[in-house]
Chain A
Amino acid sequence: MRLLVVEDEPDLAAAIVRGLSRAGHAVDAATSVVDAELAVSSVEYDVVILDWNLPDGRGVDLCARMRSGEIETFGSLEPKVLMLTARDSVEDRVAGLDAGADDYLVKPFAFAELEARVRALLRRDSGGSPVLSADGLVLDPAAFKATRDGRVLPLTVKEFALLEYFMRNRGEVLSQERLLEHVWDEMADPFTNTVRVTVSNLRKKLGEPQVIETVPGRGYVLR
Chain B
Amino acid sequence: MTSALVFSVAGLALAGFYFVTLRTVQSLTVTGSRLQAVLIDGEVGLRLTQVEMRTIESLFKEFVLNQLAVWTIGILLVLFGLSLLVGWVVASRSLRPIDEITSVARDIQATDLDRRIGLEGPDDELTRLANTFDAMLDRLSGSFRSQQRFLAHTSHDLRTPLAVIRSNLEVISNDPDATVEDWRQTGEVVERAADRISVMVDDLLAVARQELAGATLTSIDPAEIVTELVSDLGPAARADGVVIEADLPDEPVTVMADPDMLRRAIGNLVDNAVRESQEGGSVSVALRREGEWTYLGVLDRGPGIDVDLALNGDHGDGGMGLGIVRQIVAMHAGRLSAVVRPEGGSVLSIAVPDRSDPSASPRDGERLLELYRWSGIHHAGLPTHDTR
Contacts and interface: CB of A to CB of B under 8 A. Distances in A.
User: Are A and B bound to each other?
Assistant: yes
Given A11-B193, A12-B167, A15-B167, A56 B316 contact: no
Contacts of A112: 170
Contact of B164 (A9, A34, A54): A9
Given A12-B160, A106-B159, 15 more contacts: A11-B164, A15-B168, A53-B316, A53-B318, A55-B303, A58-B309, A86-B159, A86-B160, A86-B316, A88-B159, A108-B159, A109-B163, A110-B170, A111-B167, A111-B170
Chain A's interface: helix, strand, loop or mixed, by majority? mixed
17 contacts: A11-B189, A12-B160, A12-B167, A14-B189, A15-B167, A15-B189, A22-B174, A51-B317, A52-B317, A55-B302, A57-B306, A58-B309, A86-B157, A86-B159, A87-B156, A107-B162, A108-B165
Contacts of A110: 166, 170
B388 interface: yes
A147 interface: no
Interface of A: 8-9, 11-12, 14-16, 18-19, 22, 32, 34, 51-58, 85-88, 92, 106-112
A173 B174 CA distance: 35
B292 interface: no
B58 to A, nearest CB: 96
A53 B166 contact: no
A12 B304 CA distance: 22
Interface in B179-195: 189, 192-193
The 9 closest A-B pairs by CB, nearest first: A86-B159, A53-B317, A107-B163, A19-B171, A108-B163, A111-B170, A15-B167, A87-B316, A108-B162
Contact of B305 (A22, A51, A55, A108): A55
Interface string B266-307: 000000000010000000000000000000000000111110
A85 B317 contact: yes
Q: Which one of A57, A92, A107, A111 has the greatest number of beta carbons of chain B within 10 Å?
A: A107
Interface residues of B, number: 32
A211 B131 CA distance: 84
A12 B171 contact: no
A9 B309 contact: no
Contacts, number: 99
A19 B119 CA distance: 63
B227 to A, nearest CB: 29
A11 B192 contact: yes
A11 B329 CA distance: 31
Nearest to B189: A11
A55 B276 contact: yes
A109 to B, nearest CB: 7
Contacts of A22: 171, 174-175
Q: Which one of A52, A56, A57 has the greatest number of beta carbons of chain B within 10 Å?
A: A56
Contact of A11 (B156, B168, B314, B388): B168
A107 to B, nearest CB: 4
A85 B166 contact: no
B263 interface: no
B316 A85 contact: yes
Contact of B309 (A32, A53, A86): A53
B370 to A, nearest CB: 24
Contacts of B160: 9, 12, 86, 107
A107 B160 CA distance: 7
A19 B317 contact: no
Nearest to A106: B159
Contacts of B156: 86-87
Interface string B310-329: 00001111110000000000
A15 B315 contact: no
Given A9-B160, A53-B309, A107-B160, A86 B167 contact: no
A111 B304 contact: no
A41 to B, nearest CB: 15
A111 B168 CA distance: 9
A15 B388 contact: no
A16 B170 contact: no
B177 to A, nearest CB: 9
Given A55-B303, A55-B306, A87 B317 contact: yes
Contacts of B167: 12, 15-16, 19, 108-109, 111
A111 B164 contact: no
